[in-house]
Amino acid sequence: MLKHVDTVSVFGFPVSRMGMEETIGYLVEAAEAGETVQVVTINPVMIMEALEHPAYGEALKAGDLFVPDGAGVVWAAAKLDKPVTERVTGFDLLHGLMAEADQRGWRVYLLGAEPEVVAAAAARLGERYAGARIAGYRDGYFDDSEDEAVIREIARIRPHLLFVARSAARQDPWIARYRNQLNASIMMGVGGSFDVIAGKLRRAPVIWQRLRLEWLYRLIQEPWRYKRMLALPRFALRVMRMRKRGGNA
């Protein structure tokens, strides 16, 4: 049974207050105990999408552990007087879990991105974490009619770690829909992480991360994302209104 996690409610999402090290320890303990955990790397864009599209929000809330991936979520928690320990990015959490897989010989499955990207990501992770078993991978370009075959392949492998890199609308909801059929221990949507691991995109330098401008660095590389980024000021405004009223977001 999963142990209790201290959280802060951000617009109905119970965001974990654990830091990176504690989060990794929590997930390792869960995996070793045979538990199933869906990790949601929550950020302001996802929260705003959930508030505006209830069906998406309900799918997200099926997750078990919500980690503060977005700098805006960390900021919101502080404004609501219940700060989180630190930002826990999906990219860094992926690598932290891979380091554990390296030591423990865990099986890992990668699902998502373009065919050449996921293949390159699998190769690079396999080289860096040689003790882990990259037991399978496939791209994210499949439709609903292929779900059964994809699920069957993953379930056969029974991965300790399942990382899914698809669009926001087809990532966490997909995991939630099929989690009981996937035979995976830790399941996590990782967005564009495979693109960075494969070298297709560059991650923001540390100084940009410290200034909480990682979103801007990515926008410069992918300007087509600007419409999604318009959610950030709307999110900030809602947090400030909620704080003024003295309530929780």
Q: Is residue 171 part of a domain?
A: yes
Phi and psi torsions of 229, nearest 5°: -70, -15
Residue 2 forms part of a structural domain: no
Query: Which residues, listed in sequence order, are joined to residue 42 by a DSSP beta bridge?
Result: 68
Whether residue 35 lies inside any domain: the answer is yes
More confident residue, 72 or 245: 72
The range of the structural domain enclosing residue 88 comes to: 7-244
SS in 3 state form for the chain? Answer: CCCCCCEEEECCEEEECCCHHHHHHHHHHHHHCCCCEEEEEECHHHHHHHHHCHHHHHHHCCCCEEEECCHHHHHHHHHCCCCCCCCCCHHHHHHHHHHHHHHHCCEEEEEECCHHHHHHHHHHHHHHCCCCEEEEEECCCCCHHHHHHHHHHHHHHCCCEEEEECCHHHCHHHHHHHHHHCCCCEEEECCCHHHHHHCCCCCCCHHHHHCCCHHHHHHHHCHHHHHHHCHHHHHHHHHHHHHHCCCCC
Q: Are 82 and 243 in contact (CB under 8 A)?
A: no
pLDDT number for residue 48 = 94
Count of structural domains, the chain: 1
Cα dihedral value 2, 106, 164, 152, nearest 10? -100
Assigned domain for 138 exists: yes
pLDDT of 212 reads: 66
Model confidence, pTM: 0.90
Longest dimension (CA), the chain: 52
- As a whole number of angstroms, the distance between CA 18 and CA 71 comes to 15
pLDDT reported for residue 222: 63
pLDDT at 211 > cutoff 80: no
Residue 201 located in a structural domain: yes
End-to-end CA distance of the chain: 28
Buried b (16+ CB within 10 A) or exposed e, 45-73: bbbbbbbeeeebbebbeebbbbbbbbbbb
Q: Looking at 61-65, 80-84, 110-114, 137-141, which range is the least confident one?
A: 80-84
Q: What is the mean pLDDT of residues 236-248?
A: 74
Instruction: Return the minimum-mean-pLDDT range out of 75-84, 99-108, 121-130.
Output: 75-84
Q: Is residue 206, in this structure, part of any structural domain at all?
A: yes
Residue 3's pLDDT band, with cuts at 50, 70 and 90, is confident
Q: How confident is the model at residue 207 (pLDDT cuts 50, 70, 90)?
A: confident
Mean pLDDT of the chain: 90
Q: Any idea which of 154-168, 199-213, 231-245 has the lowest mean pLDDT?
A: 199-213
Structural domain includes residue 29: yes
CB distance 161 to 98 below 8 Å: yes
Q: How far apart are CA 98 and CA 107, in angstroms?
A: 10
pLDDT at residue 218 in the model: 64
Q: What is the C-alpha to C-alpha distance for residues 57 and 141, in angstroms, rounded to an integer? A: 23
Residue 182's pLDDT is 97
- Least confident segment among 4-13, 58-67, 234-243: 234-243
Rounded-to-integer distance, Cα 114 and Cα 141, Å? 7
Mean pLDDT, range 59-80, rounded to an integer: 94
Please give the pLDDT value at position 46. Answer: 94
Instruction: Give the per-residue pLDDT at 232.
Output: 77
In-domain check, residue 249: no
Mean pLDDT of 82-87: 95
